[in-house]
């Protein structure tokens, strides 16, 4: 199985096994953006088996593949969340230090009060 630029019409009818599309991309895509997956199997006594780009994307989505555009967006969100986590952890540590010093100060104050009484 391998990716090719377009289906070879000399080998048989250039049709996607799933949707029946030929070597024609959808409207926003150009022929340079279009590709097909050659399954490397013969069907109907020697006809090649191809799956078009759009059907491959549907199959990949069904099995849980995340498109590359979404991956970059998700990585940015993860970086932002990691920065937020770091900031909150630093704030928590600062509050812990303040609490400890307040607790020690209270302990020292109560011990000096007990000594003076």
pTM above 0.95, yes or no: no
pLDDT score of 12: 74
Query: What is the total count of domains within the chain?
Result: 2
Backbone angles phi, psi at 76, to 5 degrees: -65, -40
pLDDT 10s per residue in the chain (117 long)?
A: 888 888 877 777 788 888 888 887 777 777 777 888 888 887 878 788 899 888 998 999 889 888 878 888 999 999 999 999 999 999 999 999 999 888 888 888 888 888 877
pLDDT score of 69: 82
Backbone angles phi, psi at 98, to 5 degrees: -65, -40
Last residue within a domain, chosen from 26, 50, 65: 65
Strand order in the sheet with 47-52: 2-4, 36-43, 47-52
Expressed as residue numbers, the domain containing 18 is: 1-65
pLDDT score of 84: 96
Same-domain pairing of 30 and 47: yes
- Integer Rg of the chain from CA: 32
Backbone angles phi, psi at 73, to 5 degrees: -65, -45
């Amino acid at each position: 199985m391998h990716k090719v630029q377009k289906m070879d019409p000399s080998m048989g009818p250039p049709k996607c096994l799933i949707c029946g599309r030929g070597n024609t991309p959808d409207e926003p895509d150009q022929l340079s953006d279009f590709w097909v997956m050659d399954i490397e199997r013969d069907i109907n006594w020697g006809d090649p088996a191809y799956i078009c780009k759009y059907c491959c994307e549907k199959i990949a989505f069904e099995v849980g593949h995340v498109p590359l555009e979404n991956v970059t967006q998700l990585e940015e969100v993860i970086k932002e969340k990691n920065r937020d986590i770091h900031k909150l952890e630093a704030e928590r540590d600062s509050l812990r230090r303040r609490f400890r010093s307040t607790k020690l100060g209270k302990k020292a104050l109560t011990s000096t009060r007990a000594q003076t009484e």
